[in-house]
Amino acid sequence: MAHGKQHRTLESDNSTMGFQIAPMIDVVFVIMLFFMVMAGAVKVERELKTQLPGLGTPTLSDESTPPDEILVTVEETGIVTLNEEEFDGPSDKALPTFTNTLMRLKQEADSREAKVMVTIQAEEQARYERVIDVLNAMAKAKIGNVTFTVGGDDF
């Protein structure tokens, strides 16, 4: 009888040595899921549209008309000059002549589809209130491209 029991244990060991299909199905599903997610990411990446600066037709039209560059100087005494021409008095806060001239220059540049670039050169001892008056005049003329320099040695 002892001989028969030993034979049965050998048969049970042989039945557990077969190929396991369940773990393989799990691995296949994980791989499929990975490729499905990656395919969706690649599709989204293809839909992104970018345009590099300096390429395309809009920049070519901008290069054909160079921007109008205007130099505005704010002196210590409150005198405001536009391209070395003095406008309004040092005590005139509204700067009507200066504002009208800026508006006229802006309209003329818009008709040519050119940009207006203004550089404000303020002397070191110039009053901040006077610079604000100049900025208010530029806001009325709808001029947005403004650069600041300080001191009189830059130009």
CATH of the domain at 87: 3.30.420
| Domain assignment present for 54 | no
Distances (CA, A) of 135 to 80, 92, 125: 12, 14, 18
The closest of 76, 66, 82 to 141, measured between CA atoms, is 82
Same domain, 142 and 66: yes
| Domain assignment present for 53 | no
Lowest mean pLDDT of 8-12, 25-29, 89-93, 118-122, name the range. 8-12
Same domain, 38 and 65: no
Same domain, 87 and 32: no
| Domain assignment present for 71 | yes
Decide if pLDDT at 87 tops 50.
yes
Same domain, 68 and 144: yes
Same domain, 76 and 123: yes
Q: What residues make up the domain containing 94?
A: 61-150
Span 65-75, average pLDDT: 82
Same domain, 68 and 17: no
| Domain assignment present for 155 | no
| pLDDT score recorded for residue 28 | 94
| Domain assignment present for 55 | no
**pTM above 0.95?**
no
Span 3-13, average pLDDT: 53
Element (H, E) at 134: helix 128-140
Same domain, 43 and 65: no
Same domain, 66 and 32: no
Decide if pLDDT at 59 tops 70.
no
| pLDDT score recorded for residue 26 | 92
Confidence of residue 32 (pLDDT cuts 50, 70, 90): very high
Same domain, 69 and 43: no
Number of domains in the chain: 2
Amino acid identity of residue 142, one-letter, is K
Distances (CA, A) of 145 to 8, 16, 100, 130: 94, 81, 18, 19
Decide if pLDDT at 14 tops 70.
no
